[in-house]
Structure formats: C-alpha cells, structure tokens
Structure 1
C-alpha cells in the first residue's frame, strides 16, 4: 500500500476520531444537568467521575491491546477500536442516569486504542526519511479535530440537544471502521527487515514484555506521561482564568472559546513543521527545543494582565508545544522493531492516560491553595525539567 494514500486516509480518520471526542467532552457537565437531571450542587463531582473513569480503564487496557496488535495485527486492533468506540458513543446518546454514563465511559476506556494503532500502522508504512513529516501531519490532524469538535458540539447542543452529538460521533467512528475495513491493508511485516538491537538499547527487539525496561523507551514513556500532565494541569482552569480576565465582556462564552482554541490553531499549523525539523536535525533536538520554548512561554503566560496579552501567549505556547509529541512518537518508532510497534504505542497511550488522570488533580490543588496563575508556572517548570533530563539522557545514549 502506498504510504501517501495511507497517510491521507489515516489523517482523515484521526480528524474524525479527535473531533468526535472533543465534540462531547467539554459539554459533559451540561449533559449531566440538562439531560440526566444532575443537580447543580453535585454536577462537579459527577463530572469528575465520568471524566476520569475512561482514563483509568484505558491505562490498564492499552498495553494489552498493543501486545495483541503485534500478534493478531495492528489493522485488526484499529478496526476493533473504531467499532467499539462507535458503539460506546451510541450508548452515550441513550443513557438516562449519570451512573449509566459512567459505565459508558468505562466501556469507552475499554474500547480505546485507535490513536496508538493508527500511529503504529503509519510508522511502518512511512519511509524512514518521511517519518517525522508523517507523524507531524497526524499530530496536526489530531489537534485540528480538537478545534473542530467543540465548535460542532456547541452548535449541535444548541440546535438539537446533546444526544444528537453522541449519535453523530457514533456515526463518525463507524465511518472510520468502514474505511479501515475496506481501504487500509495490514502492513506486510515479512518485507520489513528486523531492526538489530543496539548496545544501548538492551533487548529492544527481543520479547515484547521487556520493552518497558529498555532505557530509551522507558524514558520516552515517562516524558510522555509528564507532558500529558502539563496539558491536563492547565486545561481545566483555562476557561475560568480567561473568564476572570475578560470579566463583563460581551459574548464572554464565545471569547473564552476563541482564546482557548488559539493554542490548538497554532499547534495544527506547526506540528508538521516540527516533524520536518526533526527529520532533518534529529528528533531529540526538536524535542528539546520544543520543550524549552513551550516551557518559557508557559511562564510568560502567567504574566499578562489583559486578555489580549494572554491570548498572544496562548497562541505562542501552541506554536512550540506541538513539537513535543511528534518527536516522542518518532523516537519510539526509530528505536522499535516493526513487529513490536503495537505494544510500544500501546504503552505510550497508557502512559498518557496516567498523566491525564494526574494532571487535573495537581492543577486543581495548585489553583485552589496557591492561585491559578501558579498553574502556568508549574507547567513551565515541568517542561523545562523534562528538557534538561532529555539532554542528559541523550548524552548517556550516545556513549
């Protein structure tokens, strides 16, 4: 199968997947109160339960699905994830109680794994000299879907009610299922030469169960989890922080959503460029640069006292943050045999889910006991610490 065709199809799939998710998640509190009868006093508790239940289950299941992908086929696991996610969204549209919605989200965590499987497929089809560009484009598509989703979700919620958003998301994932069945072929690993294990990689290509013990893979998993902590440490307070700065501005909801999405717009534009930079200059270098620049601008984001200054810093953070995950994905792809990529990206997804569970708790504690602006200082500090660690570890790997 031609790698360009595969990239085009998977990029569209990623947009559908990402927009389906973000079309619903920001509006879950509204769904709980308007459709499921949750009172205003308990909606925050239920929102937290519903939101985090998926992360817990998917963190457990992701490595299992990844190992199965290497044994049974990555395309088969992508098909499984698409179909089950489609079913989960449909169930979300017919639930009548918050407990049922929680069970639906747990089932969604069980079904998850589409993104790591599509990454694994693409890293096998992509020529080595185009790996960074391909992963950058897919990361940009993931971010673009995150921008499109809330826009359509808000419109649908106002016009037809939240249940229609669930049914539309279900249809989009079922379309992904059909595309994977009829247009994507399982990579032929018999034609892919096995990657020889390097001295500093231990048994990276030996038994899949030992992959997490490979230093470079383990380090990238930790980095990925911490980066996900940064995302989720900031996201829950962004709209509240923006609203506080905007105060009595007209169209406050629209303005908050626009400022919130500026980082996503910037990331969607620059993710492919970061991929190209990493391809030509090295993915460790692109990762370090992205971490340092994003960390600096997170620090600067705590300083503006006007909405315009904050909006500019939000856009700037997106410009640099978008280079982190494509670099991590490419480093893992370069240091992993094609026959174990499913397991590796499953472990990566699991690490990100653990970070996603930790971030909101840490961010909420900082915002409550110290102040909201210190959340941005914490995010910047974490990214700069990761960058220092990456530089130190890279020196060890090169010796």
Structure 2
C-alpha cells in the first residue's frame, strides 16, 4: 500500500477518535450547565453559547502560530502536541463545579488544539494532487464518523453514567488517537530544507498568502460555513426538548439529531470528493452550498422529532462536500512549503465562525427563535454560494 494511503487510514481513525471524543459533550452541554447551578433558560443558552465558543476564541488566535511552527518542525509533532494536551484538559472538565471553570478549560483547550488542521496539512503535503479530493473527503468522513457516534454515545452515557464521567471517557479517546498517530503515521518532511527557508512571522506569512486572491476568498467561505452551521448548535438540545416534551430521553434524542447529520455527511464526503476530482472542486463547493441552504428550509417548519431527524439527514448529505472541497482548493492554490501556514489561517477562519456562531445564536435566542435562526442560516449559505461563484469560479474563468 502506498505510504499516503497508510497515512490516510491511520489519520482516518485518529480523526474518528478525536471527533468522537470532542462531540460526546455536545448533546448534554446545556443540561450539564444546569447541574452547575444555572437554571433560567436564557441564562443556560447564554452560558452554553459562550462555553461552546470559548474553545474557538483561543483557537482562532493560536492556530496561525502552530501552523508557522508546523512548516518549520513538521506536522506530525503538531498532531502529538495537540492530541495529548487536549486529552488532559478535557478530562479536567469533569471536575468543574461552576460554569466559569468550564469556560476557562475550554479556552485552554482551544489554545493547544489543532489535531485536525495538522492532519489535513500532513495529508495535503503527502498526497498526489490528482487524489486530493478523495483524500480530503475520506479524511472528512473520519471526523464525521466520530461525530456520528460521539453525540449518540454521549447521549446514551449521559443517562447511564452521568455527565461528569463522559469527560474522562473523552480524554481517554483523545489519548488513544494520539498514541495511534505517534506509532503509525509517517511524514515526508526534511527539517534541513525547512530550516533553510526564510523565517517569517505569522503576520508576514499572512501577508504573503493574501496576495494569492483565491485564499482570502476561501477563508471567507470557511467562516460563513461554520457561522451558519454552528449558530444553531447550542440551541438544538433545547429545541429537541420542546419537540419531545417532558422525557428522560432528551439527551438521547439530542445526540441522535447530531448523529444523523454526521451519518449522511460520512456517506457523502468520499463520494463528493471523487466527484470533485472529476468535475472540479469549485463546482462541487457551489452545489454543496446551495443544497445546504435548501436543507435548512424544512427545519424551520418541523413539528416532530422525526421530521427534524429527516431534515438534518438531508443537510448532512450536502455538508459532506463543503470543507473537503475548501481544503482541496487551499492546497491547489498554496505554494509548496507553506501548506501548514495556509491551513492554519483557514483553521482560524473556521474557529472564528465556530466562535461567533454559538455566541450570537445564544445572544439572540432571547428575541429570535431557533426556527428564525434556521432561516438565517439558509440565507447565509445561499449568499456564500454567490460568493464562491464571484470569487472562485468567475476568477478561474478570467471573468
């Protein structure tokens, strides 16, 4: 088996374990906050938004720094630094006794995070260009496969062992992913050649990349994708609670809603990646954005949990083509030797969307329902498709 295929297989499992661990807390985060002494519904939504976004505040600031170091010292070391560090920090979240402690740990976690960006950068620099779409789509399917089982298992375990112990399980999964990467991933990286490259600061690196017009456009696309998707996520458990009514299985159904989107995403990502290798990543990105926009519309009108599950499954199909296409396009337009730096700025854009989406979603929940937020997300994704046509497709055609 070719080395890039071995790396892809190992990193697929690594992504699976990381995202399974990270998303296990998603279904019960607002419910966990209630156990920490917060009971008023809007206050719970506000805390959930800030805590969910806290990870991405520091990640937004730290990722370009890690990306710069990754281009100098290698991507594998970034995998291990992030994986082992997050394993410890997330396990400590199980000891929190007040929401501010949970928020502080999420901020620390964001500072040391970066397993997924490092995995993407490693694969992009060790994969043949004509296989890039397939590799990015398959890697994405590993993360969403973890996202399928993560919320589902989190919802089950919340009912069986309680909220706190899930953080210890998450830490163990992240530790396992890091050990797997340490033992099996091999990287083509020449430290002597990297040392000969001019040393540039993070801001200088951004200045070099911004002169490639497609890259700032792609960073904007990533931000809008994440903002649209994540603005509703902290409110999903509360929305499920209203659809289901009084029930002891609220955490289970909240996990199922998150999992069904990941399941269809996992199925679609490799297929859309192969399609992109044939017809172009720009075209697949536009199709996926339009489809995601349309998929949000039925969520505005759902009246039962089963209708919501069907609508979220439909959304996941198109989500499978979004970030893999963006990642493949970044590699296409990035000069050799600057891959990690380019992906780190994209990770910052992703983190900014992840940060502002939940915060704004939680902040406006007092005067705008989640159904209205579904409508806002649909409009943003439609506008994003127009942005792609104007700044990528038209530019490629020389229009």
- TM-score norm. by structure 2 comes to 0.88
Question: Which residue of 2 is the match for residue 377 of structure 1?
Answer: 375
- TM-score norm. by structure 1 comes to 0.88
Question: Quick one: distance in 2 between partners of 1:376 and 1:244?
Answer: 16
- What is the Cα deviation at residue 183 of structure 1? 1.6
- Tell me if structure 1 keeps the 8 A contact 2:243–2:305: yes
- Tell me if structure 1 keeps the 8 A contact 2:152–2:256: no
CA RMSD of aligned residues (A): 2.6
Query: Could you list the per-position Cα deviations for residues 254-275 of structure 1 after superposition, in whole angstroms to 9, with x for gaps in the alignment?
Result: 4454344322211111111111
- Tell me if structure 2 keeps the 8 A contact 1:55–1:353: yes
Question: Quick one: distance in 2 between partners of 1:227 and 1:39?
Answer: 31
Query: Could you list the per-position Cα deviations for residues 179-206 of structure 1 after superposition, in whole angstroms to 9, with x for gaps in the alignment?
Result: 222221232359x9xxxxxxxxxxxxx9
DSSP 3-state at the match of 1:285 = helix
Question: Which residue of 1 is the match for residue 327 of structure 2?
Answer: 329
Paired residues for 1:139-150 under 5 Å:
139-150=140-151
1:27 aligns with 2:46: no
Greater Cα shift, 135-144 or 90-99: 90-99
Mark the CA change 1:294 to 1:157 in structure 2 (over 3 Å): closer, same or farther.
closer
Question: Quick one: distance in 2 between partners of 1:239 and 1:97?
Answer: 20
Question: Which residue of 2 is the match for residue 201 of structure 1?
Answer: none
Question: Quick one: distance in 1 between partners of 2:153 and 2:313?
Answer: 22
Question: Which residue of 2 is the match for residue 38 of structure 1?
Answer: 37
DSSP 3-state at the match of 2:95 = coil
Choose from 282, 285, 300 the match for 2:283: 285
Question: Quick one: distance in 1 between partners of 2:169 and 2:247?
Answer: 33
Question: Quick one: distance in 2 between partners of 1:117 and 1:378?
Answer: 32
DSSP 3-state at the match of 2:337 = helix
Mark the CA change 1:48 to 1:361 in structure 2 (over 3 Å): closer, same or farther.
closer
Mark the CA change 1:45 to 1:316 in structure 2 (over 3 Å): closer, same or farther.
closer
The one of the two structures with greater contact order (alpha-carbon pairs below 8 A, sep at least 6) is 2
Mark the CA change 1:130 to 1:6 in structure 2 (over 3 Å): closer, same or farther.
same
Query: Could you list the per-position Cα deviations for residues 274-329 of structure 1 after superposition, in whole angstroms to 9, with x for gaps in the alignment?
Result: 11111111000000111111112222332444554443222211111221111001
Which consecutive unaligned segments of at least 5 residues does structure 1 have?
193-205
Question: Quick one: distance in 1 between partners of 2:245 and 2:175?
Answer: 42
Question: Quick one: distance in 1 between partners of 2:335 and 2:211?
Answer: 15
Paired residues for 1:342-381 under 5 Å:
342-364=340-362, 367-381=365-379
- Tell me if structure 2 keeps the 8 A contact 1:295–1:383: yes
Which consecutive unaligned segments of at least 5 residues does structure 2 have?
194-203
